[in-house]
Structure 1
């Protein structure tokens, strides 16, 4: 099995979402105006989420255009999409983005 096949298998379906911190709060601010308090609260929930990495990887892999995924909004994900288009591996792109987000 190739590394990319492993990533796809890991992200297939929604089981990983059931372990997300957002699972208990499906109406949180993940699709609110990004300046709204609900969106800031959603980001803080994402910060400690056990499936944050998978969530961000899935958003990038499936081209999620809206909402906060893995703690990042669509504007923050845009450069990550570009890196993927230029051949960067998904795992590296996600890991770098999460490290940068934690440092910010």
Structure 2
């Protein structure tokens, strides 16, 4: 009997697949301590998925890296301004 292997279903492209950061290395978005986030923010500024990325980072309480054009400190301030104090 011949059994065909059926792999996992292909997922449709999501915001991460369309994001400009998918085309550059992660080192821009996760710099070493004291490193610059300038290049990451430049890429984010031109990205059509920036809002979706930022929403994801806020919802999942991402603590590291640049997401949606904001550093962790900037996201922490934004959460505080929105009234959920850094708990996502």
TM-score normalised by structure 1 residue count:
0.61
Higher helix fraction (1 or 2): 1
Matched length: 72
Q: Secondary structure, in 3 states, of the residue corresponding to 1:85?
A: coil
What is the TM-score of this pair, normalised by structure 2? Answer: 0.71
Deviating runs (4+, > 2 A) in structure 1? Answer: 33-37
Structure 2 residue runs without a partner (length 5+)? 1-12
Higher RCO by CA contacts (8 Å cutoff, separation 6 or greater): 2
**Residue 85 of structure 1 pairs with residue 84 of structure 2:** yes
Bigger shift: residues 24-33 or 66-75: 24-33
Q: Which residue of 1 aligns with 2:73?
A: 75
* RMSD, aligned α-carbons: 2.0
Q: Which moved more, 1:49-58 or 1:73-82?
A: 73-82
